[in-house]
Amino acid sequence: MATAAPESHLRENPYAIARQQLANVAETFGLDDRLVSVLSECKKSVEVSIPTTLDDGRVRAFTGYRVTHNIARGPSKGGIRYHPAVTLDEIKALAMWMTWKCSLMGLPFGGAKGGVVCDPRSLSRSELQRMTRRFTSEIINEIGPEKDIPAPDVGTDSSTMAWMFDTYSMNKGYSVLGVVTGKPLTIGGSLGRDAAPARGALFTLEAALGKQGRTLDGLAVVVQGFGKVGSQFASIAAERGAKIVGISDSSGGAHDANGIDVAAALAHKRDGGSLADFGGGERITNDELLALPCDALVPAALEQVVNEDNADAVRASVVVEAANGPLTPAADDILEERGVLILPDVLANAGGVVVSYFEWVQGLQEYFWKEDEVNAQLNEIVTRAFDETWATRSDRSTSMRLAAYGVAVQRVAEATVTRGLYP
């Protein structure tokens, strides 16, 4: 039994967008065409079939991917995504963006990404475990602590990583802590990893507000996507004084100009409810949410939610890309022309990979850090990357996105030139 491809949320080919972004960086920063030809291609793409026995005895063959974009600066690193609309080109784009993200943060990693075409919400926990273990077995020769290190992404979590870690380790005959990150604490995970993507986005926003002489106190924030990253961002931001005026999930959203009770919304979601039936605010659609008046809009779900059709409706002064690629290039242009400050995904969405790096290091050393140490180091790395991006933006009179990509791509290009081509 094979799975049918659902309608995709993608309006444009994300890999084409990623390659065009690289071309824009090359033109602005004067990169050699030969380097661009290397960096615009993914080093390796693997597609596998994942036959899985379902609880009712049927067998379903899922399709899985693992893509490595670049390893010039170290082993590749990137999440595993379970979503019904996963495509190879989407995974290639995400792998390329991971390369720039790791480079911008100064991490000794290249970029990779993986995915399985499935709806994890329609599968039981035992079915997910069987599928994950078979997927790990199919890509076992592609991953490893010194080769390619997976992590959680959309539709996956610490349990997924535990199953991958165990499957890999059982095949090797000993526990290999560094093969994946985002593991549960009981088997070598890191304190602070779960909230790291949200904290990284918040640290980026705070750094930007500091340049404008503002703080989080009383800041009106709209969060699109109330999953792992969005809900944690809303919760932490509210604790630090921000006013969360709008939240949404796939069912719809809620709006309250006086501030939503984020703790109540989280409790409602934990009890199995959706934001469409959450009583704490006016019920609105996702399109209406994007158009709410606010200081900061935080897209924290899937790609391309802000595009040429709705960018004009955005009324935020700052957009924080807590998701990967939530703005299309056309939306970028529209918002930049209006003077909206865009904090790009390779900067604002990098908290997860930074603390994944910390987890990888802790696993190799078998020495684990305190949570305040993790958060302090995360803040230092993200703030440093922001300052480097802000300085490049000022020097080049360009956008934050082009500046961030410029810093990142030049580092990878330099590593590529230094290493040379083999043979």
- Please identify every residue annotated as catalytic: 113
Question: Which amino acid belongs to residue 23?
Answer: A
Q: What is the DSSP string of 68-129?
A: E---TTSSEEEEEEEETT--HHHHHHHHHHHHHHHHHTT-S-EEEEEEEES-GGGS-HHHHH
Residue among 132, 139, 183, 130 at smallest CA distance from 45? 139
- For 311, which DSSP code? G
End-to-end CA distance of the chain: 44
| H or E element at residue 253 | strand 252-255
Given a contact cutoff of 8 angstroms between Cβ atoms, the answer to whether 346 and 104 are in contact is yes
- Residue 240: what are its φ and ψ, rounded to 5°? -95, 10
Q: Which two three-digit tokens encode residue 205?
A: 């926003």
Nearest-CA neighbor of 377 among 360, 349, 358? Answer: 358
Residue 88, amino acid: L
Neighbour-count burial for 243-276, b at 16+ CB within 10 Å, e otherwise: bbbbbbbeebbbbeeebbbbeebbebbeeeeebe
- Ramachandran quadrant class, 251 (left: phi over 0; alpha: psi -120 to 50; beta: rest): alpha
> Do 303 and 90 form a contact (C-beta atoms < 8 A)?
yes
Beta bridge partners of 151: 79
What contacts 402, CB < 8 A, 6 or more positions away? 24, 25, 28, 393, 396
Residues in CB range of 143: below 8 A, 6 or more apart: 66, 136, 149, 150, 168, 179, 180
Other C-beta atoms closer than 10 Å to the C-beta of 6 total 12
3 state DSSP class of 190: coil
